[in-house]
Structure 1
Amino acid sequence: MNTYFCDFFNVREQALEEYGAFNISLVADLPLFIDPFLLFNSKKNEYKQLHKEIIRYLIFLKDKSSKGIVTEGLLRAWYTFKEVEQNWLGFSEVGNKGSGLGMKFAKSLDNNLVSLFGKFGEENITEESHLEKLCLIGSGVGRDNISDFTTNLIKAFLLRYTQEFALKHIDKNLLGQFNVSKSRFNYDFEVWEGEIYTLPKFKNSYVILTPKDLLTRDDTFINSNDMYSKIELLVESIDNIALRGQINNYLLQELKKGMKKKERQEVYQRLVQQLPEIIDYYIREKEREKEMASNISNEKVSFCNELLVNNYKIFVEMMATQTPFYDVRQDSFEEALERVMYLKRVIEDMDGYKIFYIDGQPIKREHDFQILYKLTWFSSDSDMNAEVNNGRGPVDFKASQGKKDQTLIEFKLASNSKLKQNLAKQLDVYNKANGGTAKTIKVILYFTDSELARVNKILHDLKIDENNAIVLIDGRKDNKESASNVK
């Protein structure tokens, strides 16, 4: 089975490593994304210039927004972007298609640049302006938007970067010429223009490589959770006495003894909305800590490379040698359950559990568990979608063969604090949202004896311990019997 870029294009992994690009999967997006702070903080002049170009474009948008001349047509032309799905990075477990930056994002950005960030590009507290500033208030522009926006604004660089590697290392029969739209902005005519590139061909499109030193996981270095967690300490570093006095007065009135964490955060959010200058002081502190950004990013990317590339190869090789899915017509439930049971067998009886361990410690992330399941869905006639939302919240996967044949599959770790609540209610809610026609499968992965005991107690309490659509998978590394000894 071809899974990674090097597999599909017959490239030596060492060549890609030396070039500095991440060996992406062409089966499912990997949970990495570009952090614009890494551009700002880089010692490479080319990266620093990319950061300046991002800020230049935002200042262009701010100037247009402040003049009140942005029509719906210009919103679509200047503020909306499709997701750059060809880089195979992001947050989609199935395939590589995300939502992109549509009109909701465009209108929020247009409004924020006038109402909240009217001085964007004119800051005198921070070293430079920062794109991430736009997602620190919770006003319609989030982390995913920042990632997509950054990728679109440096797309020409990524295309040139990929083209250079492709021309040197990939057989010309595996390459094609592509006219890539919105790859360069012409400030003279104020229009996005396309450009022709020679790139690796994949299906009906192309592939984009991304340098590892631009990537991170989980969150950008500048992010709202970090800001709100430090806000009271941040106040003490503000040298503007009047602003500091306003903040302290507000917190004194609004913060109550015994407040829960969520309630305190809501107070902080209202504070920042009223006094957005606070954001500049937070960003100044992050600039002072900038040496940490690259170190943290390198650790996260190395971790992802070990888990999502090196360890997953074990799983892929197992599937390549054994294909238990026969050309027999099955409904979506039978097929989905069979693939769950295959995943269970690989993890429990074929040493597949090893992929969940780095330096002897289990990796407890439901997202990684879900990507593994995606890898089992080869040679299938069923329609397979991830993060399906039918009005009651997202479910991990939905397999279907038409409206009357749907199966919902949910993956949970035994350590999940809301496991009992989830088992009792969640899939029933999803089922109702699908018109009551969907069947459900719940898959639970455990790593310790105590986790297994907890799950068994929950199943017993809910009287569902005999339900064959609830599958437990043993991820323990200790006391494993070899497959030959299992009776």
Structure 2
Amino acid sequence: MLRPRLTDYHGIYKGQSELDFAIQFFDEDIPLYIDPFLLWKSPSQQDQSLHTSIVNSFNNLNFLLKKGRETEALELLINISECPEVGLGVSKSRRGVRLGRSYAQEVLGLFTKIENYSQFGFTHFEVIQLYVSGISKDRVSDIACNFIKSFLIDYTVSQCEIHSIPIEGVILDSIYGYRENKLLTNQKVYLPVNPETKEPIIFTPKRWLRFSPWINYDNYFQSYCPRDEIFNPGQPVERVQILNYNRDNYGVVEDYVANRVRQSEDCVNDPLFSQIPVLSAKRKLDEILKLKTGKEDGADWKYEKLCSELLASLFYPNLDFAVEQSRTESGRHVRDLVFYNNRDIDFLDEIFSDFGSRQLVFEMKNVAKIERDHINQLNRYLQGGFGSFGVFLTRNDLPKVMFQNTVDLWSAQRKCIIAVTDADLALMVGLYESKQRSPVDVLKKKYIEFRRACPS
């Protein structure tokens, strides 16, 4: 499979929209992050309590400093700055690096350099992004995850019980003990694991995830930073000067945080995937219909890009978008769209049962007509997780001879290849707009027409 997911591996055929947790990939991170602000604003007492524990645990670093235990505080901060088990971020290997000692010392220095933090601690620790270079959204998320890792382990186990996901005994290097205010090492717990590496996996609730924390440097810089007070006219804008200014002007940062709190009703979690509006879908369809066939003026590239963006929304949530990939077949460049088969409707379940298609592959061809070589290319590709079901995304219906070629392929190898055309895309967009039926029904219609033409 391409971009294998935990749920697909364990035969749990539910889309991301149906699950409470973010589905993890085995070999790469999910490009989202836990935002502590979402826990703070949540109506759930549990979430609010978890936010309190995160902030109290972070502020305990100040207690250690005041007790002369700076080395202990420094080591603790470094060790909680990376949490690979949750698989959040942009790493292609699910492995990040911990915070460097110099950056960790700068973070701890905020407790001594800014009097208010020394006396009262942080209310929203995410503001360290506004004071220290090298602290970004991934670091904030990992620190939060480590402080509540014990809860996340329990949450993961409960979700595994609900969805019958196997768990195994694993040893975690450390789990933060809220009562002890320290890391408890070599803790045995039961969690789902990566089947190849046996590395443990911890789930995170979707409701806590955003692409960027509500309180973040980019938002502060764009909407609140008093640049006229920091830079002279014509002077280059450099981040380090802004961070230095913020450390010397604590009140400006607190005003920014207060402003974000006032706007908190607008702070919502970010879904892993958002469908495009109907108007955007219709515009993309119009652009596709106006394109010439072939490669002139990049028409093939434009066709592939528009179709990728359109189908990802049209098929959601019945088919979760997996990947847009390139491959080379007999010296030809081929573009594919691949979707996870969630099997949540009878047609998709039949495709899985009859053809073994755990993923559906769409080969995009901006050509006037499909030829024998195209069919042979797709035929060779239909194996493994793709099973024996494939789709051409092309401009026109298959010529009669080529359609008969696909029927013969069915007779000889029980492989099914159908074509989705411009007219089919228009029908899908119409269904997308009306909301009365799923655009996936157009795929079902094409499949039924194909099977009727095949010998029994």
Compute the TM-score of the two structures, normalised by the length of structure 2.
0.58
2:111 and 2:118 in contact (8 A); partners too: yes
Q: Any residues of structure 2 matched to 1:64-143 within 5 Å, and which?
A: 64-71=64-71, 75-77=74-76, 79-81=78-80, 83-92=82-91, 94-116=92-114, 118-119=116-117, 122=120, 129-143=123-137
| Aligned partner of residue 13 in structure 1, secondary structure | coil
2:348 alignment partner in structure 1: none
User: Shift in Å at residue 209 of structure 1?
Assistant: 1.4
* Alpha-carbon distance in structure 2 between the residues aligned to 1:227 and 1:349: 36
Q: 1:256-297: per-residue Cα shift (whole Å, max 9, x none)? A: 44556x36x776444323212211111011011111111xx3
Q: What RMSD in Å do the two structures reach over aligned CA positions?
A: 3.9
C-alpha deviation, 1:225, in angstroms: 1.7
Contact 1:80 1:106 in 2 (8 A): no
Over 3 Å counting, the alpha-carbon distance change for 1:268 and 1:199 in structure 2 is closer
Which position in structure 2 is the counterpart of 1:481? 367
Inter-partner Cα distance in structure 2 for 1:207 and 1:154: 15
Change (3 A) 1:482 1:112: farther
Matched, 1:201 2:193: yes
Q: Residue 204 of structure 2 corresponds to which residue in structure 1? A: 210
Distance 1:358 1:53, change over 3 A: farther
Q: Secondary structure at the match of 2:150?
A: helix
Greater CA deviation, 99-108 or 154-163?
Answer: 99-108
- Between the aligned partners of 2:115 and 2:96, the Cα distance in structure 1 is 27
2:60/2:181 contact within 8 Å kept:
no
1:215 is displaced (CA, Å) by 0.6
Deviation at 1:29, TM superposition (A): 1.4
Distance 1:44 1:231, change over 3 A: same
Tell me by how many angstroms 1:226 deviates. 1.2
How far did residue 159 of structure 1 move?
A: 1.0
SS of corresponding position for 1:65: helix
Aligned pair 1:301/2:272, yes or no? Answer: yes
The residue that corresponds to 2:451 in the other structure is none
CA contact (8 A) 2:110 2:117 kept: no
Judge conservation of contact 2:53–2:178 (CA < 8 Å) in 1: no
Aligned residue identity for 1:89: L
- Distance of aligned partners of 1:274 and 1:9 in 2 relative to their CA distance in 1, 3 Å threshold: same
Superposition deviation, residue 100 in structure 1:
2.8
Confirm or deny that 1:10 pairs with 2:4: no
CA contact (8 A) 2:168 2:192 kept: yes
* 289, 308, 318: which one aligns with 1:355: 308
Residue 57 of structure 2 contacts residue 181 of structure 2 at CA under 8 Å; is this kept in 1?
Answer: no
* Identity of matched residues, %: 19
Q: CA deviation at 1:150?
A: 1.2
Shift of 1:48: 0.8
Deviation at 1:481, TM superposition (A): 2.0
| Alpha-carbon spacing, 1:182–1:121, altered in 2? closer, same or farther (3 Å) | farther
Answer yes or no: is the 8 Å Cα contact 1:180–1:196 preserved in 2. yes
Cα deviation, residue 144, structure 1: 2.3
1:131-173 CA distance string (max 9 Å, x none): 11111123443332212111111211111111111133225xx
Give the alignment's TM-score, normalised by structure 1: 0.54
The within-5 A match list for 1:365-384 is none
User: Which letter maps to 1:481?
Assistant: V
- What is aligned with 1:231? 224
Greater mean alpha carbon deviation, residues 29-38 or residues 107-116: 107-116
Distance 1:144 1:360, change over 3 A: closer
1:285 aligns to 2:259 (yes or no)? yes
Q: Flag the structure with larger Rg.
A: 2
Q: CA deviation at 1:186?
A: 5.0
Gaps of 5+ in 2: 277-299, 315-320, 328-332, 336-363, 375-456
Structure 1 residues 63 and 199: alpha-carbon distance in aligned structure 2, compared to 1, 3 A threshold? same
Query: Conserved in 2, the CA contact under 8 Å of 1:137 and 1:224?
Result: no
Query: How many pairs were matched up?
Result: 308
Q: Is the 8 Å Cα contact of residues 308 and 324 (structure 2) preserved in structure 1?
A: no
CA contact (8 A) 1:101 1:149 kept: no
Aligned to 1:20: 20
Q: One-letter code of the match for 1:109? A: V
Q: Which consecutive unaligned segments of at least 5 residues does structure 1 have? A: 236-249, 307-346, 362-367, 377-442, 446-476
Instruction: State the SS of the aligned residue for 2:30.
Output: coil
Letter in 1 for 2:84: E
Quote the residue 2:146 is aligned against.
Answer: 152
Q: Deviations over 1:409-444 (max 9, x none)?
A: xxxxxxxxxxxxxxxxxxxxxxxxxxxxxxxxxx9x
